[in-house]
Amino acid sequence: MYSIVSTAIVCGIRSVLIQVEADVCDGMPGFEMVGVLSSEVKEAKERVKAAVRNSSIRLPPKKVTVNLYPADIRKTGTGFDLPIALAFLSAHGKIPQKYLDGILFAGEISLNGEIRPTAGILPMVLAAREAGKYTVCVPRENVGEARIVKEMTILPADNLLQVLALVEEFHQNPQKFSGEWKCSSEKTAQQDTEHDFNRIHGQRVLKRACEIAAAGRHHMLMLGPPGAGKTLAAKAVATILPPLTEEEALELAKIYSVSGIFAQREQNFWERPFRNPHHTVSVAGLAGGGAVPKPGEISLAHKGVLFLDELTEFRKEVLEVLRQPLEEKSIRLVRNSGTYLYPADVMLVGAMNPCSCGYYPDRNKCSCSARTIARHLDKLSRPLLDRIDITVEVKRQSISEMFQKGPEESSETIRERVRQVQELQRKRFAGSSVLYNSRIPVSGMEEYCPMEREAEKMLQDAFERLEMSARGYYRTLRVARTIADMEASERICAVHVMESLMYRSVDRKVWDVG
C-alpha cells in the first residue's frame, strides 16, 4: 500500500513543505529511506520501528520504502520522525489515509513512542497556512509557538498512540478542536524597572546620546573608565525602545523558534531583545553557523539591541564579522547543504575602556604608553568605527553626582519621546522601505535631509578638517536628521550638525592618540 504525509523543513527562518511517501509491499523485509537525507534523518527508521513496537502495534514483516521529496533539498533535523511513523503505519493499513490529509505533522519520536519537541515549529506552521493547510499536529511542548499563527487548529501530540486517536477524532468531529489553541495574547510588554534611566544620576550627555540613538536606531559606542556607568546605560537603552510591531514580533519569534529557544520569547513576545554576548564568543556564535546552521547572537538581537561590552576584548576577526550585517541588516551563510539567510537588523551598542588600564586621558592615573594605547585600540578597525553613528565619552561621576537628590527622568518618559520621533519618521518614509533615519539611503539624502546653508557649510568644513570618509559624512547627516526631528525642525540647522559632529569627534580624538 501507498501513503503520503505532509511535513516541513526549515531553511534559514523560512520553511519549505516536504512530502513523506511510504510504500509497503511483499518481498524481502527491510526499511529503506531515500531523498537526500542527513544522518539524523536516516536514523529515524530505527526510532520509528522501536516506537511502533513499544506502542504495542504489531506489523507483519514487509518491504518498506520511504521517500522524502522534493529530492533537491537536503533533509536535516529530527522533526521528520512523526510524519515518517504515520506514513509507515498508514501504508500498513493501520490508519486511513483520509485521516492524514490536510494536516501537517512534525515532531521527534522517542523509542517508547513519546513525541518530543523540535526546533522550527513556528515557520513550519506559517508554511502550512500559506500552503492552505489549516491544521497541524505538533509536540505539546511546541504548542505555545504554534498557536501564535492565526486561523490555525493545533493538535497537541504526547505519544504515537494518542496521535492515532487524535486524528481519527478530528476527522469525525473537527468542530471539537476549532479554536481550542487560538492565540489570544494581548500586545503588552513588561517594563524593566531595574535598569530604568531614573537610576542613572547625572550623565546628561550620555543620556542625550542614548535617546538620539534610540530615536533614530543609530549604532552607538561608549568610551570611559571602569565603573562610569556604560553597562547600565546600555541596558537602559533597551527600556526606551517602543514595543515590537506584530510583524516584527512574529519575525523575531521565528528566529528563536529555529534556534530551539522559543521559550525565551514566549513570555516577552512584544519586548525588543537585548543580547549581551561574552567577549569570548566565536565567529559562528555571533554571526551564526555550525554543522546544522543556526542563527547567531546578531540575529537573536534582531529589531533590538546587541550590546558588546569590553569591545576591545573581542577577537578582531569576530568584530570584523559585524561590518557587512550592520550595512545589509542580514546574515547570509553559504554551506554545502544550501544558503541560509538570517535577519540581522540590530541597534549595536558597544562599550570599551580607552586604554588597557581604562583611565586615559587622565594622566594622573593612566601610565599607558602611546604604543600600548595604540595596540589596545588597534582591535577596532577604521571601517568598523566608520559604521558607528554615535561615539560618546562617559566620564567618571563625582560623589555628589552619584548621590544627588531629586527625581531623574524615567525610561517611560523618554520612551514616549522616542515613540513620537519614530512615528514622525514612519510618516516621512511612508511608502518606502526606509523605517528609521539611520537607514536613509544616499540617494534620498537630498529629499529627506534638507539643510540650511550654514549647516551645509559646517558639515563640509568638518569633512575636510576631520578627514571623514563618505560613509562618516552621511552617518553624521543621518544623526543630525534625528536631532532635528527631536527638536521638531523640518530642516537641519547648524546647531543640529554641531551636536552630531560632537558624537563623531570622540572616537577620532582617542584613535589618533600618540
Sheet of 347-352: strand order equals 274-275, 305-308, 347-352, 220-223, 390-393
Can you tell me the distance from the alpha carbon of 3 to that of 1, in angstroms, rounded to the nearest whole number?
A: 7
Q: Rounded mean pLDDT of the chain? A: 89
DSSP-derived pairing of the beta strands 135-139 and 153-157:
parallel
Output the CA–CA distances (angstroms, integers) from residue 163 to 13, 43, 95, 251, in the order listed. Answer: 27, 21, 11, 30
pLDDT, greater one: 373 or 338: 373
**Average pLDDT estimate for 109-134:** 94
Percent of the chain at pLDDT above 70? Answer: 93
- CA atoms lying within 13 Å on the CB side of residue 112: 2
Q: What percentage of the chain reaches a pLDDT higher than 90? A: 65
pLDDT one-digit tens code per residue, 368-392: 888 888 888 888 888 898 899 999 9
Q: Which residue has the cell 506502542?
A: 55
Rounded to whole angstroms, the Cα distance separating 453 from 468 reads 20
> How many residues comprise the chain?
514
How far apart CA 43 and CA 15 sit, in angstroms, is 22
Q: Give per-residue pLDDT as tens, 66-94.
A: 999 998 888 988 899 999 999 999 999 99
Residue 30 DSSP class: E
Beta sheet of 14-25, edge-to-edge order: 30-34, 63-69, 14-25, 2-11, 103-105, 135-139, 153-157
Q: How far is CA 291 from CA 39, 120, 336, in A?
A: 12, 16, 10
Residue 190 has pLDDT above 70, yes or no: no
Do residues 335 and 284 touch, judged by C-beta distance below 8 A?
Answer: no
283-308: pLDDT as tens digits:
999 999 887 789 999 999 999 999 99
Whole-number Å distance between alpha carbons of 147 and 482:
38
**10 bridge partner residues:** 15
Nearest to 497 by CA among 467, 474, 471: 474
Q: Which residues contact 499 (CB under 8 A, 6 or more apart)?
A: 480, 483
Is residue 511 within 8 Å of 377, Cβ to Cβ? yes
pLDDT tens track for 411-452: 999 999 999 999 999 999 998 889 999 999 999 999 999 999
Average pLDDT over residues 123-141: 94
Mean pLDDT of 242-249: 92
Q: What is the mean pLDDT of residues 223-235?
A: 89
* Helix-, strand-, coil-residue percentages of the chain, each rounded to 5: 45, 20, 40
Asked if residue 160 has pLDDT above 80, the reply is yes
- How much is the pLDDT for 403? 64
Rg (CA), the chain: 28
pLDDT score of 189 more than 60: no
E-state strands within 88-237 = 103-105, 108-109, 115-116, 135-139, 153-157, 220-223
**Between 160 and 12, residue with greater pLDDT:** 160
**What's the confidence (pLDDT) of residue 408?**
83
Containing 306, the helix (H) or strand (E) segment is strand 305-308
Average pLDDT over residues 339-356: 91
CB 152 within 8 A of CB 146: yes
3-state SS string for 221-254: EEECCCCCCHHHHHHHHHHHCCCCCHHHHHHHHH
